[in-house]
Each structure stands twice: as structure tokens, then as C-alpha cells.
Structure 1
């Protein structure tokens, strides 16, 4: 994978857990961790459940992928999306991540498994809604269900019109996985790819 894609993937993985620290001046979205001094228990019980957050009726267990998020997208599924090179794991953050690129093209994919956010009491789609309410995310919009699981489009800003789509799918009430497609020509291509990526991840989880 070109160095520019590796660097961008690393930045996205970091921002997924530190939007509150990074602020809202950049374009790459992420899911914040609780503010310093906030325990997981207090973060999860500080406010009543948000009725706008859809419940996950059939939660999936992603614990087997915490050590290697790349396994969420098997090589055959990646090839169907046009990515034939192996994914580049990013396990140096609280949330394991993996990115894919195409030599000579801007198209890239990234998966971020929000297991670290879960441990901090900011997991699931509920964590994104909390971040939006706190002003850490400027953009949050319901997305289409993927394989029966709820999703949201989210970010520091809405980047879809520029061919960058950030989709988070709730696989449990306290666990979300980010499916990101960047560098595409338009919103239809990028969000269509992000939805296919989310679908592939869910199928992998169901078969695990």
C-alpha cells in the first residue's frame, strides 16, 4: 500500500478514539473516548437510553477479531470490492483497524473495530450519538440497515459528496464497527462500497 494511504489510515484509526482531543478542525471522522476522568461505568450510566438509538436485536461477537481486524474482510470479499493486496493492520490504537489500498489509485477502505470504545463506555451507535450531543461530531445521520443491522453516517463533517463515506454499523448495543470508503468519484460509489464492506464484515461475524 502506498505510504500516503498508510499514513491516512493511521490517522483515521487514531482519530476514531481521540476526536475529543483532536478537535473538529480536520476532515477525517472518528468516535471519541470519554473525557479524561470519566470511568466506563459513569460514561454508560450518566444519561438515560436515547430512544433515537436503534437497538441491536441479534448482537454479534467480534472478540475473535480484536487481535487482527483485517480478518473481518477475507481476501475473496476484498477482491470483490476491487482490492487484491492484503490489508494493513493497525493494532497500535485502542480500536484495532485495518486498511486496504489500490496501487496508483486513490480508492481505499478501512475497518475500525470499536472494542476500545466499548471498554471505555462509549461503544456502539449510542457512543456516536453521545459524541454528537457533546459537539465532538458535527454530522450524524441514520443509514440503511445492512444485513439487518442498524447504521449511521457520521463524521466531523459530511464528506460524502466528495467521495468519502464513513459508515458505522452497530453489531451490538455497545459495539460498532466503522466501514470507511475514501477516494471515490462520488457519494453513490463511496457509500455503496462502504455498505458492501459493512455487509462483508457482518457475514464474516455471522460465520465466525
Structure 2
């Protein structure tokens, strides 16, 4: 009987791992890689109209070169950090052909990972009419969420979104790496995760800044 139970436990564990990997594959397949980085039309409510405007960000005095990452977006996040955030069995997929700029999609296959992160995207919105961070500040009343965060090594950071989904574990932050270039980190966490998603996204953005400094 014990041998039977052990075989059943082994079968259940293997099945759970397969299902977890399948879920991660679905997350990557369903990730909104083609979604524009900014909404095409304003989405302003009466409350947002009365929200005080944030002053424009300071100019970037030490610009970073992002050209390498426009063809290899997944190089922007060190594998060691991705493992720390998403677990040992992290899955990543670059998508350099997205309408507004290249994207790296990463998903966790580890259920119950301590960070609580399920999926993460690093985006480089450089095509079309993708705005700069200063332009995002100027358009801030378009967004249900617009909140400056502490800068990273002097690079301006802000959380923004057409919807405010922080209560469900989602947040996007943008970072100015020059006066004309930026990158975004879009992050999804378990609802039960204790760390606020925008702070976790900012931490991931800091890891990207570290990588950009080494190029």
C-alpha cells in the first residue's frame, strides 16, 4: 500500500509540474505584446480632472544606450535576477516586432514563488508616436494611474496605466534613460502578494538599469 501511495504521489507531482509549465506557456502566449504602451485616447474621469498635476521630470544627465536591446530585449534583465524574481524555471520569449517597440516576456513556472510575481514584461517603446517620459508627464491626466516613484540612480520613474490595477497585483512603470528614450516594466503578481506591485516593478526596473550600465 505504501508503494502504491508513493507512485500516486509521484504521478500527481509530475502532473502538477506539467500543468504549471502549461500555464506559464499560456501566460506568455496570451501576454498583450501588441498592446500599445499608451492609450490612443484620453480616459479622464471627474476625479482625475481634479488630481494635482505632477511637475515634469528633471532632464537625464547620464543617458544610456538602448540600441542593443531593440534587437535583443531579453538581454535587458540578467538571468540571475529573473531567477530570483520568477523562480528557477523561468520562461522568457523575446518579441522584437511589437508595434510600439521590442518586448521581452517572462513567466514563472514555479507555483508559490516567494516574490509573488507571475509574469513580467520589459518593453522598449521606440516606434511610431510612443511618447517620452516627459510627454507622459504632460499627458498624465489621460491615465487612471499616474504616480512618480523615487528615481533610480537619477533616472526618472513613474507608474502609469489607463486603469489602476494595483489592487489585483498589476503595475507598469516607465523609466527615462535619456530625454528621448525610455523603457517600461509591466508586472503581474498574485493577488495575495504582500509587496505592492509598483514597488516590485520598480525593483525590476532597477535591475534593467544595472544591465544597461554594463553595456
TM-score of the two chains, using structure 2 as the length reference: 0.71
* CA positional deviation for 1:174: 1.2
**Structure 1 position 57 matched with structure 2 position 79:** no
The alignment's C-alpha RMSD in Å is 2.5
Contact 2:119 2:188 in 1 (8 A): yes
Q: Which residue matches 1:88?
A: 93
Q: Which residue matches 2:114?
A: none
**Structure 1 position 4 matched with structure 2 position 26:** yes
**5 Å matches for 1:98-177?**
98-103=104-109, 105=111, 107-116=118-127, 120=129, 122-133=130-141, 135=142, 137-177=143-183
**5 Å matches for 1:188-199?**
188-199=195-206
* CA positional deviation for 1:16: 2.8
Aligned partner of residue 167 in structure 1, secondary structure: strand
Contact 2:146 2:159 in 1 (8 A): yes
Q: Where does the alignment leave 5 or more consecutive residues of structure 1 unmatched?
A: 25-49
* CA positional deviation for 1:83: 3.6
Once residues 189 and 138 of structure 1 are traced to their aligned partners in structure 2, the CA distance between those partners, rounded to angstroms, is 17
Across the two proteins, how many residue pairs are aligned to each other? 175
Once residues 172 and 187 of structure 1 are traced to their aligned partners in structure 2, the CA distance between those partners, rounded to angstroms, is 32
Q: 1:14 to 1:132 in 2, by over 3 A?
A: farther
Once residues 187 and 86 of structure 2 are traced to their aligned partners in structure 1, the CA distance between those partners, rounded to angstroms, is 12
Q: Which has the larger radius of gyration?
A: 2
Q: Which residue matches 1:203?
A: 210
Once residues 82 and 17 of structure 1 are traced to their aligned partners in structure 2, the CA distance between those partners, rounded to angstroms, is 23
- Mean alpha-carbon deviation: is it higher for 162-171 or for 101-110? 101-110
Q: Where does the alignment leave 5 or more consecutive residues of structure 2 unmatched?
A: 1-20, 44-53, 112-116
